[in-house]
Amino acid sequence: MDLEKYIDKLKAQFLSCFNINLINWENLKDITWDQQELILKNVIENELNKKFPIRRSYQLSFLKKIIEYFELNNIEIHDRIYERFCALNSTPNKEENLAYKHYLLAQNDAPISLKESKSFVAEGTTGLCSWQASLLLSNWIINNSEKMNNKTILELGAGTGLCSFTALKCCNPSEVMITDGSVKVLNLLETNLINNFSNLIEIKSESNYSKYSLKDGKFVSTFLLQWENIEKLNLDNIFYPNVILAADVIYDSSTFTSLCNTIDYIFKYMKYEVIMYLAATIRNSETVDEFLKILGERDFTAEKIAIESDKQYFYWDNTTPIAIYCITKGMQ
Ligand SMILES: C[S@@+](CC[C@H](N)C(=O)[O-])C[C@H]1O[C@@H](n2cnc3c(N)ncnc32)[C@H](O)[C@@H]1O
């Protein structure tokens, strides 16, 4: 085993709160005392976690799993692992609703640190945490960065904004507009944007629409875009997207017509010179088929993208399958 590589992977999984049951613990089988120190230093006591802590309950489960694994395999447990567990366990459980997740990118790119809700549904919305489809789509974006270069990107139902932030950090789009239909989600998005890009220069700040420039010449904006209202919005002179991104937005069939109207509207508005990349978690294939059928009735083509050989930057739980579709219509 290449311990350095294993620790790097464990660090990325820990900091992004990857499903503990899917972590490969077997590599700890022959671990020495010194190697346990390395794991403590690089993973559990990582500077990012000290500064912007991930969920306390996740840290406790992670440590508990390590302790159980060591006990089961008769490995002497490092004192500091116990100490860390006890210290965390005895800190008052403040349980604020938000905690950090950190997504480590390629070596030269600063990580994306997102404040997220600890629950999948909070304050009446699903948008306050990153969903598995956004991890897969973000990973795909890095592996296909040339598709984002010099593009103006619009993200629909962006939630915490992970895909847009990834495109901004790891690709060269000229502009990214990050949108969501919930004001609460948009507020958290704005906080995360400011925390992750220290070099923002504010150009516009209106209620529900902010625009910034970055030092490297890119532009980024956040915008309240409710799919039901697409026809009432005046996008003229605001934005001309030629790539649309969306992750985990097709789960509630009551929104399909308005979402398809939005996609249709943008394609028409851009004279069909648009490509959409949609990541969908296939919880129920009938729901996804229903959405694709509506798109098909409007003459859109949706092709599933093959993603097997992508290099892995993000770690997601694919116990429930996730697919990325490339959606086009008319002239390309
Ligand atoms: C399951 S979350 C996915 C968030 C993010 N894309 C991700 O994958 O982590 C669905 C997102 O769609 C947004 N959404 C749901 N219905 C919407 C609508 N009618 N108009 C605009 N956004 C909507 C929600 O606010 C939420 O942020």
Residue nearest to atom 20 of ligand 1 (CA): 226
Structure confidence by residue, pLDDT tens digits, 50-103? 999 999 999 999 999 999 999 999 999 999 999 999 999 887 766 568 889 999
Q: What CATH code is carried by the domain that includes residue 277?
A: 3.40.50.150
Please give the distance, rounded to the nearest whole angstrom, from the Cα atom of residue 181 to the centre of ligand 1: 7
Q: Is the pLDDT of residue 314 over 60?
A: yes
Please give the distance, rounded to the nearest whole angstrom, from the Cα atom of residue 251 to the centre of ligand 1: 10
HEC string of 22-33? HCCHHHHCCCCH
Q: What is the CA radius of gyration of the chain?
A: 21
Is 145 in the same domain as 262? yes
pLDDT confidence of residue 105: 87
| Structural domain that includes position 66 | 3-95
CB 155 within 8 A of CB 250: no
- The neighbour count for residue 211, using CB atoms within 10 Å, is 20
Angle between helices 132-143 and 162-170 (to 10 degrees): 20
Is 88 in the same domain as 126? no
Q: Is the pLDDT of residue 234 over 90?
A: no
Is 180 in the same domain as 63? no
Please give the distance, rounded to the nearest whole angstrom, from the Cα atom of residue 245 to the centre of ligand 1: 12
Q: What would the two tokens of residue 81 be?
A: 């692992």
pLDDT confidence of residue 110: 86
Count of domains in the chain? 2
Is 73 in the same domain as 176? no
pLDDT confidence of residue 117: 79
Ligand 1 near 126 CB (within 6 A): yes
Q: Which of 227, 249, 291 to mutate to test the pocket of ligand 1 (most atoms within 8 A of CB)?
A: 249
Q: What are phi and psi of 201, to 5 degrees?
A: -120, 120
pLDDT confidence of residue 95: 56
Ligand 1 near 130 CB (within 6 A): yes
CB 102 within 8 A of CB 15: yes
Query: From CA 318, how far away is CA 313, in angstroms rounded?
Result: 15
Residues 310-329, mean pLDDT to the nearest whole number: 93
Query: From CA 152, how far away is CA 171, in angstroms rounded?
Result: 12
Structure confidence by residue, pLDDT tens digits, 10-58? 999 999 999 999 999 999 988 999 999 999 999 999 999 999 999 999 9
Structure confidence by residue, pLDDT tens digits, 206-218? 888 999 999 989 9
Is 131 in the same domain as 210? yes
Is 77 in the same domain as 178? no
Ligand 1 near 245 CB (within 6 A): no
Is 264 in the same domain as 179? yes
Mean pLDDT (the chain) is: 92
Please list, in sequence order, all residues whose beta carbon lies within 8 angstroms of the beta carbon of residue 43, skipping any fewer than 6 positions away: 7, 10, 11, 14
Residue nearest to atom 5 of ligand 1 (CA): 159
Q: What would the two tokens of residue 189 be?
A: 């998005």
Q: Is residue 215 part of a domain?
A: yes
Is 201 in the same domain as 68? no
Q: Is residue 113 part of a domain?
A: no
Is 8 in the same domain as 137? no
Q: What are phi and psi of 168, to 5 degrees?
A: -65, -40
